[in-house]
Amino acid sequence: MSRTSATTNAARNAVVELLRVSPVADDLATRFAAAGHRLYLVGGSVRDAMLGRLGNDLDFTTDARPREIMRIVTGWADAVWDTGIAFGTVGAAKHGAQCEITTFRADAYDRVSRNPEVQFGDTIEADLVRRDFTVNAMAIDLSTRQFIDPHDGLDALANRVLDTPATPQESFADDPLRMLRAARFVSQLGFTCAPRVLEALHEMAGEITRITAERVQAELSKLLCGAHPRTGVELLVDSGLAAHVLPELPSMRLEIDEHHQHKDVYEHSLVVLDQAVALETEGPDLVLRLAALLHDIGKPDTRRHVPGGGVSFHHHEVVGAKLVRKRLRALRYSKEVIEDVARLVFLHLRFHGYGKGEWTDSAVRRYVTDADDLLPRLHKLVRADCTTRNRRKASALQRTYDGLEERIARIAADEDLARVRPDLDGNEIMRLLDVPPGPLVGKAWTFLKELRLDQGPLEYDDAVAALRSWARAQGLGVAAADQGEPADADEVAGTGAEDEQR
């Protein structure tokens, strides 16, 4: 339902009032007017102003050509940059505001790539019709305070609907990235797509393959960090876009028959995403959200039917970590993001071996050490992964994890769990074994670290004795400091060969 005329006018007046108290916009408009040009606040800035979420990033458009824009803002702005000048955009900073000023555009697209043949336009109306969605096709003439809305963007905004100024088919053929932007706006703003937009998404999903992986990744990240990531993900999958950009997601929609019951992995993953978001304390966490969405990505490849009508997914966390690395690399995520998400996926199931607290202190140390700086995220992921509707079972799982966290805190109070290191450093290892730097020192260091994880901190003499015994077992001489007859390493601290939780 559209807004009443009075409500519409109030919204328009609110924007005008916002501009009245905006010295940067007013000052900039005055400079353009003095040079004989019009300046408009446009696109997302107008939309966000009406939604009450306008920040310091302001978008403007003008009839002035790029070089003239440069001349007007030089000497006024605190900083000016021209990295986008080939596309008609000049950037300027003033009093903390980041301004992007773009010459009217009337681009033509080859509809093979998404790169337009840049053409400058002469009217605001021609500029607005080429924009992605009607809610982004509104403008305000800063000289006259005239509100310009040729495509009913204000009504679409009032009804929280995404529609396109031209037909969706034309818009998406010009730039297929707009399809991902639709899903992103659904996530960020809580909008829904107009029926004709949904129809075009289904028809044209395959066109997204024209877009580079870097562009896809940027939109996917913004979608996942939105206020409603589940809704955005559902649009990706339902429209068919996910089949091209993140095919593992629709693959998690496993067929369930009456004999082989299990949770719907896709629906379960969406619930885990919701619950992980609810556990965030410092704003959107892309790594946590990716891990929550993809934690069971290995289940389709590991599903096995077992006698009695059951289903197993043995080692899906191992397979899942490999699939995460492969997919996120294809999407050009950074090495740090890839490794963090893959490690969380690999570790997310380990807690389920904890039982009712049967882990030894050694196993707890390994859990902490393997998670390392990801431990706070792992805590959230494991808790979010509890989606059972059985309240008693869910409560028991949460209490058990509370107990594990308490044990971690208790052991950490006695030992520096955040920085578990061998009791002897590399220099001491080289001195005791009389060896130069090299792979052997690394092997000895690893042995001592395993010993530390198994036994906790050792006295110096015990650590030395264990190292010497290990060296003899490797066929090494330890003449440099082999004084006395140390106890066998197995007697001192165990071999460290049993890795209860690896």
Domain presence at residue 127: yes
Q: Which of 103, 124, 158 is the last residue of a domain?
A: 158
**34 token code pair:** 């003095």
Q: Tell me the backbone φ, ψ of residue 482, rounded to 5 degrees.
A: -90, 75
Mean pLDDT, residues 342-350 taken together: 94
Domain presence at residue 500: no
Q: Which of 158, 178, 193 is the last residue of a domain?
A: 158
Average per-residue pLDDT in the chain?
84
Domain presence at residue 352: no
Cα separation, 473 vs 497, in Å, equals 14
Q: Tell me the backbone φ, ψ of residue 32, rounded to 5 degrees.
A: -65, -40
- The model's confidence at residue 364, banded by pLDDT at 50, 70 and 90, is confident
pLDDT value, residue 378? 95
Domain presence at residue 191: no
**Distance from chain centroid for Cα 119:** 35
pLDDT value, residue 463? 77
* Prediction pTM value: 0.78
Domain presence at residue 471: yes
453 in Cβ contact with 366 (< 8 Å):
yes
pLDDT digits (tens, 9 = 90+) for 232-271: 999 999 999 999 999 999 999 875 544 344 468 899 999 9
Domain presence at residue 413: no
pLDDT value, residue 201? 98
Higher pLDDT, 486 or 457: 457
Q: Where are the alpha helices (DSSP H) in 312-390?
A: 316-330, 335-347, 361-371, 375-384
pLDDT value, residue 272? 95
Closest to 138 in 3D by CA, of 154, 119, 126: 154
- The model's confidence at residue 30, banded by pLDDT at 50, 70 and 90, is very high
Closest to 159 in 3D by CA, of 40, 50, 16, 274: 50
How many other C-beta atoms lie within 10 A of the C-beta of residue 67? 12
pLDDT at 292 over 60: yes
Mean pLDDT, residues 341-369 taken together: 86
Classify the C-alpha dihedral 462-464-466-472 as positive or negative: negative
242 in Cβ contact with 236 (< 8 Å):
yes
- The model's confidence at residue 411, banded by pLDDT at 50, 70 and 90, is confident
Domain presence at residue 380: no
Cα separation, 172 vs 197, in Å, equals 10
- The total of structural domains in the chain comes to 2
CATH number at residue 52: 3.30.460.10
Higher pLDDT, 278 or 7: 278
Higher pLDDT, 377 or 450: 377
pLDDT digits (tens, 9 = 90+) for 65-112: 999 999 999 999 999 999 888 889 999 999 888 999 999 987 666 566
pLDDT value, residue 416? 58
Which residue in this structure is represented by tokens 């934690």? 295
**307 token code pair:** 């006698």
- Domain with 56, as residue range(s), is 5-158
Cα separation, 443 vs 429, in Å, equals 10
pLDDT value, residue 116? 64
- The model's confidence at residue 123, banded by pLDDT at 50, 70 and 90, is very high
Q: Tell me the backbone φ, ψ of residue 343, rounded to 5 degrees.
A: -70, -40
Closest to 16 in 3D by CA, of 123, 128, 145: 145
Higher pLDDT, 192 or 354: 192
How many other C-beta atoms lie within 10 A of the C-beta of residue 271? 17
Which residue in this structure is represented by tokens 């559902």? 234
Closest to 468 in 3D by CA, of 442, 496, 447: 447
pLDDT value, residue 118? 72
Classify the C-alpha dihedral 92-98-104-105 as positive or negative: positive
Domain presence at residue 32: yes
Which residue in this structure is represented by tokens 């009804």? 159
Rg (CA), the chain: 30
Amino acid identity of 352? H
pLDDT at 114 over 80: no
Mean pLDDT, residues 165-190 taken together: 95
Q: Which of 158, 181, 216 is the last residue of a domain?
A: 158
pLDDT value, residue 19? 60
The helix/strand count (H/E) of the chain reads as 25, 13
pLDDT digits (tens, 9 = 90+) for 145-170: 888 999 999 889 989 999 999 999 99
